[in-house]
């Protein structure tokens, strides 16, 4: 096989850079007009290494875009009431424009109640029922960042979704389910697959646009990818491996996201963009 027969890569790093440049310009403009920089509060419960890394990456990205980040670190032993109280205080704090609760928060905590303590106008990670409903109704609001990033990638590469068979493997509330709703909103014909789906392999072979959001390394076989399909791999597994067998899939796909350097960077860029958008709305 020559390079000519390989799929074109969807470069998430480059797109994230462009989004972040525009976000930084907006953040600088807000600071100039109001004397206040946009501020994202990050809430971390416990010391799970992956969560610590994610929060550190998000705070570093904020710094590059001129967004102030306020870190709130709570011990793993914190209870639901205290966590909800902490988030409610951030929701009421006029100096905070966006709130990110890093999950998972620990099995003993009511995660949904904690998310719901985020004021809708500060829900820049798109995790509240308000944001989910707004997305479902096609109304303005903040989208969950990874689905939002996936749509930006598809738009960046001019993927025409109308009438296409889009398949989402995974149905989590923050990723699989919302990305399917966004694809439906763009007139794709959407199929959701999950752990109870029968004969996944045959279904994948019919997908014009495939979004993998499973959390299992190389779960989607390259041989199952429909020739010319658009493959978006949201999976991020230990060892920097996605949910799709990339090397085999790129020989059949038309467009494909690498892991790393695909969905991940755009997800963070969307978080920053939505934080600045929240600051614009709150500060005027
Ligand atoms: P999750 O909550 O664990 O959901 C996984 C989904 O995969 C579930 O809907 C599950 O089905 C489905 N699934 C599991 N085994 C399956 C099987 N054998 N066949 C078909 N479907 C199966 O995970 P998540 O939070 O959505 O994350 C998914 C992946 O995306 C992970 O690798 C995660 O690290 C990555 N991720 C990346 C970003 C980013 O910024 N790039 C952000 C978030 C997540 P059931 O519902 O039936 O259990």
What pLDDT digit, counting tens, does each position of 42-91 carry? Answer: 999 999 999 999 999 999 999 999 999 999 999 999 999 999 999 999 99
Residue 234 CA to ligand 1 center (angstroms) comes to 9
Task: Say yes or no: 46 and 111 in one domain.
Answer: yes
Catalytic residue among 123, 125, 224, 243: 125
Judged by DSSP in three states, 77 sits in: coil
* Residue 230 resides in a domain: yes
Tens digits of residue pLDDT in 77-132: 999 999 999 999 999 999 999 999 999 999 999 999 999 999 999 999 999 999 99
Please give the number of the atom of ligand 1 that sits closest to the Cα of 171: 9
Residue 112 CA to ligand 1 center (angstroms) comes to 18
Probe residue for ligand 1, chosen from 104, 169, 191, 195 as the CB with the greatest number of ligand atoms within 8 Å = 195
Please give the number of the atom of ligand 1 that sits closest to the Cα of 214: 7
* Residue 16 resides in a domain: no
pLDDT of residue 93: 98
CATH number at residue 39: 3.40.50.10860
In the chain, the percentage of residues whose pLDDT exceeds 70 is: 99
Strands (E) in 75-207, as ranges, are 98-101, 165-169, 189-193
* Residue 163 resides in a domain: yes
Q: What is the DSSP letter of 226?
A: P
Task: Say yes or no: 222 and 168 in one domain.
Answer: yes
Q: Is 102 a catalytic residue?
A: yes
Task: Say yes or no: 98 and 150 in one domain.
Answer: no
Distance (Å, rounded) from C-alpha 219 to C-alpha 61? 30
**DSSP per-residue letters across 62-100:** HHHTT-EEEEEEE-TT--HHHHHHHHHHHHH-TT--EEE
Distance (Å, rounded) from C-alpha 25 to C-alpha 61? 14
**pLDDT band at residue 284 under the 50/70/90 scheme:** confident
The count of domains in the chain is: 2
* Residue 14 resides in a domain: no
Distance (Å, rounded) from C-alpha 211 to C-alpha 191? 10
Task: Say yes or no: 69 and 113 in one domain.
Answer: yes
* Residue 273 resides in a domain: no
Please give the number of the atom of ligand 1 that sits closest to the Cα of 268: 40
Q: Is 164 a catalytic residue?
A: no
Task: Say yes or no: 80 and 179 in one domain.
Answer: no
Judged by DSSP in three states, 255 sits in: strand
Structural domain of 173: 145-263
Task: Say yes or no: 154 and 110 in one domain.
Answer: no
């Amino acid at each position: 096989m020559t390079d000519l027969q390989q799929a074109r890569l969807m470069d998430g790093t480059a797109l994230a850079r462009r989004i972040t440049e525009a976000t930084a310009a907006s953040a600088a403009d807000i600071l100039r007009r109001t004397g206040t920089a946009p501020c994202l509060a990050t809430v971390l419960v416990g010391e799970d290494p992956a969560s610590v890394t994610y929060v550190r990456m998000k705070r570093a990205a904020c710094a590059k875009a001129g967004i102030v980040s306020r870190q709130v670190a709570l011990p793993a032993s914190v209870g639901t009431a205290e966590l909800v109280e902490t988030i409610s205080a951030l929701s009421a704090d006029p100096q905070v424009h966006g709130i990110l609760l890093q999950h998972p928060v620990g099995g003993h905590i009511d995660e949904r109640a904690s998310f719901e303590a985020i004021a809708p106008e500060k829900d820049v990670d798109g995790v509240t029922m308000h944001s989910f409903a707004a997305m479902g109704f096609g109304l303005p609001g903040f989208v969950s960042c990874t689905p939002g990033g996936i749509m930006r990638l598809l738009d960046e590469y001019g993927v025409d979704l109308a009438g296409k068979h889009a398949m989402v493997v995974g149905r989590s509330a923050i990723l699989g389910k919302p990305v399917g709703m966004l694809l439906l909103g763009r007139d794709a014909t959407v199929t959701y697959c999950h752990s109870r789906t029968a004969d996944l392999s045959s279904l994948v072979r019919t997908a014009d646009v495939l979004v993998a959001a499973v959390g299992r390394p190389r779960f989607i076989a390259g041989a199952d990818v429909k020739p010319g399909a658009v493959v978006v791999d949201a999976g991020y597994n230990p060892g920097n491996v996605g949910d799709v067998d990339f090397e085999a899939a790129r020989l059949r796909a038309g467009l494909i996201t690498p892991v790393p350097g695909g969905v991940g960077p755009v997800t963070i860029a969307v978080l920053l963009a939505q934080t600045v958008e929240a600051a614009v709305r709150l500060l005027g």
